[in-house]
Homo-oligomer: A and B are copies of this chain.
Amino acid sequence: VDLPNSTGLAATASLAAKFRALGIESDELNDLVRFVKNLSSIAAGSDIVRAGERPRCSTIVLAGIACQYRRRDDGSRQIYSFHHPGDFCDLYRYVLPELDESVAVQAITDCSVAKIDHTDIERLLSSKPKLGLALWRATMLASRIVRERLLNIGRGTALQRVATLLCEQLALRKAIGIESSALPFSQIDIADATSLSVVHVNRVIQTLRGLNVVSKASQPIEVIDSKLLAQVAGFDGRYLDVSGVISNWAAEVNDARSALSSIGAALANGLLLARIGNPIIEALF
């Protein structure tokens, strides 16, 4: 694979689709994509963004799943959100760079990520003001998901909390063209995201298995009956599917995929991206 070239294409595939959906013209896109660089791969479990470091750049997930979390004094971890291919991990640190508490980002699975310097973002924003609105929107969409989780965690039974999380993540992945119904979360991850104990998460999953909603096998949790899952959760995905933002976005990803079909469909859902510069996944090929 011709690295520099496919890097450009890779960035185009997942990022471009997202930002076009956020209301950005394609010529402005190209400028953004040009500044994305610094591909690297992260092993599952290690930190992508460390807490407390003053950032000079922001990070984008190209493949794998990452989570934004915070560690409390007692050592427990609160997961705020999960990041899928195309997501900025820490764009909020561009806006509020000054000492951001102890929020960090960790790779849930092996990830490959790209970076963009804050100085480059700044330069871009001054020349392309509409891009600023798109980035602002991106951060607000993330915030809205957190707000929704607040509601979910506040009231709502353990069953609803877990089911809602699964629905949400499934929907987010579907929106970027990942149709697979398997979610590579550990039960610990789910516990930390739903503010439940691991033991209880396990029991809830047993229940879901009893309802034939998820598969028996553990580790990659596979959702069998997403309809029933949504019913159990009382899930209303409208908060993800802001008219013309994410729903368009899904369409755009499909466009991008077919446009780039010469590289194969694997590109769009991130497999190739994962491969580039990720020795762990690269070994699979």
Residue A146 is within 8 A (CB to CB) of chain B in the complex: yes
Q: Which residues of B contact A141 (CB under 8 A)?
A: 96
Which residues 142-192 in A have Cβ within 8 Å of B in the complex? 143-144, 146-147, 149-151, 153-155
B129 with A242: CB separation less than 8 A: no
Tell me if A146 and B140 are in contact (CB < 8 A).
no
Cβ-closest chain B residue relative to A244: B98
Closest to A73 in B: B234
Q: Within the complex, what minimum Cβ distance (angstroms) separates A61 from chain B?
A: 19
Q: Is the CB of A137 within 8 A of B98?
A: no
Partner pick for A132 among B72, B76, B129, B147, CB 8 A cutoff: B129
Q: How far is the CB of A175 from chain B (nearest CB, A)?
A: 16
A238 at interface by CB-CB < 8 Å:
yes
A119 at the interface (CB under 8 A from B): no
What is the bound-complex CA distance between A228 and B274, given in angstroms? Answer: 51
Q: Are B78's CB and A155's CB within 8 A?
A: yes
Q: Do residues B243 and A96 form an inter-chain contact, with CB atoms below 8 A?
A: no
Shortest C-beta distance, A37 to chain B (Å), equals 23
B96 touching A144, Cβ below 8 Å: yes
| A235 interfacial by beta-carbon distance below 8 Å | no
> Given the known A-B contacts A70-B151, A80-B147, are A96 and B140 also in contact in the complex, defined by CB atoms under 8 Å?
yes
In the complex, whether A49 has a CB less than 8 A from a CB of chain B is no
A98-B244, A132-B132, A149-B150 are known; give 12 further A-B pairs, CB within 8 A: A95-B133, A96-B141, A96-B144, A96-B245, A98-B245, A99-B238, A99-B242, A101-B238, A136-B139, A146-B150, A150-B150, A155-B195
